[in-house]
Amino acid sequence: MKAIIKVFKFGGASLKNADSIKNVANILKRFREERLLIVVSAIGKTTDALEKVVEAHKNKTGEAFALLELVKKSHYEIADQLFDPGDPVYDAVNDTFVEIEWVLEEAPHENYDFMYDQIVSVGELVSSKIVQAYLVKAGLPTQWLDARDVILTDDIYREGWVQWEETEARCERIAKPMIEKGGFVLTQGFIGSTKENFTTTLGREGSDYTAAIFSYCLDAESMTIWKDVPGVLTGDPRIFDNVVKLDRLSYKEAIEMTYYGAKVIHPKTIKPLQNKSIPLYVKSFVNPDGEGTFISSEVDEAYPPMVAIEKNQALLHISTRDFSFVAEHHISYLFNLIADFRLQVNMMQNTAISFVVCFNDVDDKVDRFIEKIDAQFKVILDRNLELITVRHYRQDILDSLKEDKIVLLEERVRNTLQMVVKSVPMMRRKDTVN
Ligand code: ADP
Ligand code: ASP
Ligand code: MG
C-alpha cells in the first residue's frame, strides 16, 4: 500500500533557541505514528549573519573569521542546552563549519554568487544536524537527508531553478525509500545542488519552497508550514493593526498575495502544490492546537480586503534617446534583458514614448540593467518605493493606505488594486505659540 506522506516545514523563527527546538520536538510527538518529511531552515537569523561573513570575505575586511565565530558560538550555546558534552552531534556541527573555514582561507571567489551559496548554505546544514540529533534524543527516530542529493538546480547561484524531472526521479530513488523505512526524515530547506555537485540556494526565504518541492515529488497528502502567526492574516501584523486570520484561502488568492509581498509564505511555494492539488496548512508553532489557515482549490466567494506590501521597489521610466516611439522591437529587447537579469516585474505601463516598469530592487540588478540599456534608452529612476497590493479592496482602506504617500503608478484589475508609492511626511501646521 502507498504510504501517506505529510510534509512539515519549520522556519528560523520556530528554531531560534534551545526552547524553541524543544517545542518543535513536542509538536512532532503528536505525529509520531505518521510518515513525515520535515524541512528545516537555518536557526533564527543565521542566514543574515552568514551573509555578513560573505560580505566581509569579499571585501577583505579581515573580519570574516570573527563573524563566523559569532555564528558558531550561538550554535554551540544552543547545542550545550540540548546535548550532553561529547555527544557526536558536536563533531557533525564542527565538520560542517569547517567547510566555511576552507572557503575563507582561500582568496574571495571571483563569482560572488557562487561563494555566497557555499557559505550561506551551511546555516541549514548545521541546523538540520542539530534538530535531527535532538529529535532522536527525544525518542523520535529521524533520519537525516541531504537535500542536495535530491534537489537538482541549474547553475544560477543564489537563485537556482529546480530541474523538476531529475529532482522527481531522485526523490523517488533516495527520499522515498528512507520515508518508507518508518520514522521521520529530516532535511534542509533553501538548498540544492548543480549537476556538478556544487551547492546552490533557491533564493532568500526559500525553505517554504523546498517543502513544496518535496510535497510535489512525494505526492504528499498535505503540507504544513509552522509559523509564529496563527495563520495567514489579512495583512502583515508588523505593519497593520486589526488584521484577522483567514480560515480558508484558495491557491489563487494565496499566489496573488505572496507574489506581491505577503511575507508569510515564499511566493514560489503555492504553484507546485496547486498542480497536484496538495492542500497547504499554515499553522502556529506557538499554538499548535489552533486551526490555522487551510489553502486549497476551494474558492470562497467573499474575502475580506487583504493587503500585501513589498518594499524596495524601483520604478523606471524608460524612453528612447532618439525620441522615437517605444515600439515592439524595443519592448522585446527590454524583456529579453529583464529575463536575463531575472528581474521581477511587478507593474508596467507603456505609452507612445515611454515604458514604465516597477521591479523588486534586489542587489545591483537594476543598476546593471540600466547600464546595459543606457546607450539606447534614457531612464528616470525612482528608488525606495513601496508596492501596495490590495485584493477585494474597499475605498476606505485605499484612502487610509494613501495617507502620507504619493502614488506614482496605479492600476485596478477586477478585484485587485496595485499602486507604487513614495512615502512623504505629511505637512502639518506648527503650533503657534504666542
Ligand atoms: P519563517 O520562520 O518560516 O521564516 P517568516 O518570518 O518568514 O517565517 O514568516 C512569518 C512572518 O510573516 C510573520 O511573523 C509575519 O510578521 C509575516 N507576515 C507578513 N504578511 C503576513 C500575513 N499576511 N499573514 C501572516 N503573517 C504575515
Ligand atoms: N534560511 C534561509 C533564509 O533565511 C531560508 C529560509 O529561512 O527560508 O533566507
Ligand atoms: Mg523565513
User: 317 and 208, same structural domain?
Assistant: no
Backbone angles phi, psi at 250, to 5 degrees: -85, 160
Number of the ligand 1 atom closest to the C-alpha atom of 232: 24
Q: Residue 235 falls within a domain, yes or no?
A: no
Kindly report the pTM of this predicted structure.
0.93
Q: Rounded to the nearest whole angstrom, what is the distance from the C-alpha of residue 86 to the centroid of ligand 3? A: 32
Nearest CA to ligand 1 atom 21: 236
Bridge partners, 405 (sequence order): 423
Residues 6+ apart with CB under 8 A from 316: 356, 357, 358, 359, 366, 370, 379, 380, 381
Whether 222 and 322 share a structural domain = no
CA 97 to ligand 2 center in whole angstroms: 18
Query: Do 202 and 64 fall within a single domain?
Result: yes
Please tell me whether residues 64 and 184 are part of one structural domain.
Answer: yes
236 occurs within a structural domain: no
Whole-angstrom CA distances from 163 to 167, 168, 176, 279 are 6, 9, 18, 23
Final residue in a domain of this structure, among 176, 205, 227: 227
Q: Examine residue 429 and state whether it is found in any structural domain, yes or no.
A: no
Q: Can you tell me which atom of ligand 2 is nearest the CA of 48?
A: 4
For residue 16, give the CATH number of its domain.
Answer: 3.40.1160.10
User: In angstroms, what CA-CA distances link 196 with 135, 154, 187, 387, 408?
Assistant: 32, 10, 21, 39, 46
**Is 90 in the same domain as 180?**
yes
Counting every residue written for the chain, the total comes to: 434
Is residue 416 one of the residues assigned to a domain?
A: yes
Quick one: which atom of ligand 1 is closest to the CA of 257? Answer: 23
Q: Give the residue from 197, 227, 257 where a domain finishes.
A: 227
What pLDDT shows up at residue 255? 93
- Say how far apart CA 127 and CA 75 lie, in whole Å: 8
pLDDT of residue 1: 56
Same domain, 210 and 314: no
206 and 334, same domain (yes or no): no
Residues of the chain with pLDDT under 50: none
Going from the C-alpha of 154 to that of each of 58, 109, 151, 195, 199, the distances in angstroms are 24, 19, 10, 8, 11
**Residues lining ligand 2, CB < 6 A?**
11-12, 41-42, 47, 123, 189-190, 204-207
Q: What is the pLDDT of residue 430?
A: 80
- Do 194 and 87 belong together in one domain? yes
Please check whether residues 310 and 414 belong to one and the same domain.
yes
Q: What is the pLDDT of residue 326?
A: 82
- What's the helix, strand, coil split of the chain in %, to 5? 40, 25, 35
Grid cell 475580506 — which residue? 304
- Nearest-angstrom CA–CA distance, 199 and 121: 7
CATH number at residue 368: 3.30.2130.10
Q: Which residue range(s) make up the domain with 43?
A: 5-227
The answer to whether residue 364 sits within a structural domain is: yes
Q: Is residue 100 part of a domain?
A: yes
Residues 125 and 218 in one domain: yes
How many folded domains does the chain comprise?
Answer: 2
Does ligand 1 lie within 6 Å of residue 232's CB atom? yes
326 CA to middle of ligand 1, Å?
40
**pLDDT at position 23:** 98
Residues 175 and 323 in one domain: no
pLDDT confidence of residue 427: 72
Cα(233) to ligand 2 centroid in Å equals: 21
Residue 346 maps to a domain: yes
In a domain, 386, yes or no: yes
CA distance 88 to 424: 56
Q: Can you give the pLDDT at residue 2?
A: 66
Please identify every residue whose CB atom is under 5 Å from ligand 3, which is an ion. 11, 205
- Alpha carbon dihedral 418, 419, 420, 421, in 10-degree steps, equals -140
Residue 311: the pLDDT is: 95
* Residues 237, 30, 176: CA angle, nearest 5 degrees: 95
The reply to whether 170 and 318 lie within a common domain is no
Which of 190, 209, 227 represents a domain boundary (last residue)? 227
Q: What pLDDT was estimated at residue 322?
A: 85
